[in-house]
Amino acid sequence: MSALRAAGRAIRDAWLALGIALLGLVVLEAAYRVSWGERARPSQGVDSAQHPYAGQEWWIAFRPYTERVARPHRFDAYRGYWASRTQLPGLTVDSTGRRLTVQPSAGGARRRVVYMLGGSTMWGYTARDSFTIPSLAAAALARRGIHDVDVVNLAQTGYNSTQELNTLILELLRGGRPVVAVFLNGVNDIVIARDGMPAHTYLDGTIDQQIALGKRGFWQELAGLGRHSAVVQRLQKALGPRAGPAPPAPSERHCGRLADYYRQVTHVAEAVAAAYGVKVIHFLQPAPATSRKPRTTWERQLVDPPALGRCMASLDSAMAERRGVTFHSLAGVFDTDTATMFVDGWGHITEAANGKVAERFVEVIAPLLQDRP
């Protein structure tokens, strides 16, 4: 009996020690995250007071939403990921994962549809629902007297032209029959490439990690709980082996390959759409690296991704035979503007800039809509 009591006391003491140790780790983790963890974040190296939305109340409340919602939440077998439903002030994603397009109401049972596809710039990463490019394009069409059109925002943050092509194909297979499909691309087709190889996606590295985690056994999974701890991650970084080099960013020697791939993707998109009687228009998006606009104080602080300007020029050149027909470059759309148009070096633009891009879209697609009842 005494042996059983001794064993019971030993188990009790072990659990007590484990509980105290866990409590200490929780306290240490919380203290680190509140104090050192905040100070350890790298500086962005920019003067935030010069941000185009600095001091605007809507942006102060809106920015945390974009940083949260822009992260994909739902796995998609054909495109890697797709957005989840979200309802926040100024930022709405419906149950199908589409960003809300605010458009003038109009009667009539027979309505035509325009698809708009792209990455985060088209999606509206730095814009409220009413000021995304698709919403502003819908308003611009209405001002031209075109009231029987619904604009559908099929863009997703981080998407490149391959993912958008898959999106168009899926919509057509599901019965969608737009009159026009508008693509806005360029930056993601370049910066997401790995060592110059196209067709990678924004989060394929993360998906690889999740697959690897799913293969771990019990003890590996138990030990892996530390990956959620900022303290453990800090110690691993300081004491552990150095991580391997990240995949090299595209350089200018890769521009030709990336441009050729982009040309082929756009050709396939046009061929597939034509089989369903759909017109496709491609726009090369504006970016600080290709714009000749006089840079404002804020824009002078922006850092261009490696080789972006040269590779964007290569994409433009690769589409020369279709320029002015199914392809239009927006590289110079802001060249005469003296106000801040670019929010960052990756091509995210202000709400006012969205309006200029939307007007350019409408200049091109309005004649197609007027000619095709």
pLDDT at position 140 is 97
Q: Where do the DSSP E strands lie in the chain? A: 74-76, 80-82, 86-88, 91-93, 112-118, 149-153, 180-185, 279-284, 327-329
| Residues of the chain falling short of pLDDT 70 | 1, 29, 32-46, 69-72, 106-109, 199, 205-249, 371-373
What is the SS3 assignment for 197?
Answer: strand
Q: Where are the alpha helices (DSSP H) in 174-254?
A: 187-191, 204-214, 218-223, 230-239
pLDDT at position 195 is 74
Q: What gap in Å lies between CA 153 and CA 146, rounded to an integer?
A: 18
pLDDT at position 36 is 56
DSSP assignment string, 75-143: EETTTEEEPPPEEETTEEE-TTSPBP--------S--EEEEEEESHHHHTTTS-GGGSHHHHHHHHHHH
152-181 per-position pLDDT tens digit = 999 999 999 999 999 999 999 999 999 999
Contacts of 142 (CB under 8 A, 6+ apart): 103, 104, 106
pLDDT at position 354 is 98
What is the SS3 assignment for 154?
Answer: coil
pLDDT at position 43 is 42
The pTM of the full predicted model, rounded to 2 decimals, is: 0.83
Give kind and range of the element (H or E) at residue 316. helix 308-318
Helix axes 255-275, 161-173, angle to 10 degrees: 10
Per-position b or e across 147-156, b if 16+ CB within 10 A of its CB: eebebbbbbb
241-297 per-position pLDDT tens digit = 554 455 556 788 899 999 999 999 999 999 999 999 999 999 999 999 999 999 999
How is domain 56-198+248-371 classified at the CATH fold level? Answer: Rossmann fold (3.40.50)
pLDDT at position 42 is 42
In this structure, are residues 278 and 326 in contact, taking their beta carbons and an 8 Å threshold? Answer: no
Closest CA to 365 of 146, 170, 175, 168: 146
pLDDT at position 372 is 58
Q: Can you read off the two tokens belonging to residue 83?
A: 């957005």
Q: Which residue has the tokens 């009687």?
A: 277
